[in-house]
Chain A
Amino acid sequence: MRREASMTQPIELILLRQWSTYQAIPVWLMDAEGDLLFYNEAAEAVLGLRYVEAGVIHANDLAELFQTTALDGSAVPTEELPVVIALTQRIPAHGELRIKTADGAGRHLHITAFPVEGLSERHLGAVAMFWEEPIP
C-alpha cells in the first residue's frame, strides 16, 4: 500500500495539538523530521515566540532560535537533548537544561519528551513538555 504526499497532518498529531491547547504547561509538537509543528500558548510565553507569527519552525532553525546548554553553561551534544532522543531513539527522555530563547531571555527548564508512535506502526514525531524553574 503506498502512502502519498499529504497535506493533512496525521490524526494522532491533530489530536495532540488539540490536547495541547487545553494544557496550562508548555507543550511542543514535533513531526518525525524534527520540525516544530506547533507549540501552545504556555510554550509561547516560555519561548518568547507567538505561534501565529512564527508558524512551523524547521529543525535546522531550532538550534539557532533556542540556544541550549547544560545548567553550568557547557555545551550539550545535540543527540543528548530530550527531544532528539525521543525523535531518534523513539524512547522517552528527561533533561534539565538552560536555554536562551528568541527574545534573548535565559531560562532554566525541565524537559520531558516522548515519541509519538501512531497506529499502523507509524513514527510520527515527538511531544515535549516544559517546566520552568525560576532563575535566582
Chain B
Amino acid sequence: MRIELSGTRGSLAAAGPGTVGYGGDTASILVTAEGRSIVLDAGSGIRRLGDVVAGQDRVDVLLTHLHMDHIQGLGFFGPMFDPSIEVHVWGPGSPKFSLEQLLSRYLSPPLFPVHVRELSSVVLHDTDPGSFELGPVTVTTDYVCHPGATLGYRLSVNGTSMAYLPDHEPALGVEHFPEQPEWTSGFDLMAGVDVLIHDAQYTDDEYAERQGWGHSTFDQALDVAELCEVGSLVTFHHDPGHDDGMLDEIAAAIATHPLPFEFVPGRAGTVIDV
C-alpha cells in the first residue's frame, strides 16, 4: 500500500509562500495497492491526482463528507471528464437527500458550469456504515464525530491498513479524554492501523474557542493515536492560519516527547509505503 498526501490543508485552501512546506491545497490523498487507485476526499489537492491516475480504467473517490474543502476539487479532477475512466464516487447521503442530490448543489449552475448528471462515466454510491471491497482493498467505514453526516475510512489490504479521519472531534463533550475505546468516536476504524491520518487542526488555545466545530488539537490526535495503538500518526487538516513556521515549531515540540508510534507531520507530497 502506498499513500501519497496531495492536499493536507483544512477548511480553506491557503496557497502562498508561507505554506509551501506543508501545502496549501485542501484534503485529498491517493492510496494505491495492487494496481488499484483510491482517492480519499476531493479537496483542491485532487486536481494534480488526475494526472497520476490517467491511463487507468477505474478510480474510486471516497468522500468523508460534503463540506466544501472536501469536494471543491471534484470538478477539476480530470478523470471526471474522461469517458475512458470509470470514476466511482462514494460518500454519505443524508436522511432526506441522496449523495447525487447533495453533490448537485455544488456541481451544477450557477456554482459550476457542468451538472454532475452530464458526467456519464461517473457512478455515485450512497455509502452507509459497514464494509465493502474495492478489488483487493477492504474498505470499512463508519460515522464519526463531526458536524453533519461524516464518515471515517479504514483501508486494509494484505495485512496492512490505514485509517483516514481528517475531520474528527472525538474529544467533544468528553470530560477526561481519551475515553475508553467503546465510547471513543472512530475507535474501531483506527485501532491498530499501520498509518493513521488524523485531524490536528487546532492548538489547545484555539480549541478552547472552537469546541464543537468538529476538529481536534495536536494533543488530542496524539492521545487518540496512542489509545488506538497505531504504527504511525500523520497530522492532517492543517488550519489555514498555520504557516510552515508554526507547524514546524509544533512538530519539533512533539518530537521532543517519546511516543509509542511514529509521528509524521502531514506535508503535501509526502509518500508513505506500508
Contacts and interface: CB of A to CB of B under 8 A. Distances in A.
Interface stretch (A15-23, A80-88, A102-110): A15-23
A4 interface: yes
A9 B182 CA distance: 6
B130 A7 contact: no
Interface string B224-246: 00000000000000000000000
B258 interface: no
Given A119-B92, A119-B143, A119-B149, A7 B181 contact: yes
Contacts of B92: 119
A57 to B, nearest CB: 15
Nearest to B149: A119
B144 interface: yes
Nearest to A4: B131
A119 B145 CA distance: 13
A1 interface: yes
Contacts, number: 66
Nearest to B126: A120
Contacts of A22: 173
B188 A8 contact: yes
Interface in B16-49: none
B129 A3 contact: yes
A2 B129 CA distance: 8
Given A14-B145, A21-B173, A21-B175, A7 B187 contact: yes
A3 B130 contact: yes
Nearest to A22: B173
B185 interface: yes
B142 interface: yes
A9 B183 contact: yes
A10 B187 contact: no
A11 interface: yes
A26 B185 CA distance: 24
A6 B142 CA distance: 10
A14 B171 CA distance: 11
Contact of B143 (A3, A11, A21): A11
B217 interface: no
A8 B145 contact: no
Per CB-CB distance, the 3 closest pairs between chain A and chain B, nearest first, are A18-B173, A1-B130, A120-B128
16 contacts: A1-B127, A6-B188, A7-B187, A7-B188, A8-B182, A8-B183, A10-B129, A10-B143, A11-B142, A15-B173, A18-B174, A21-B175, A118-B143, A119-B143, A120-B128, A120-B129
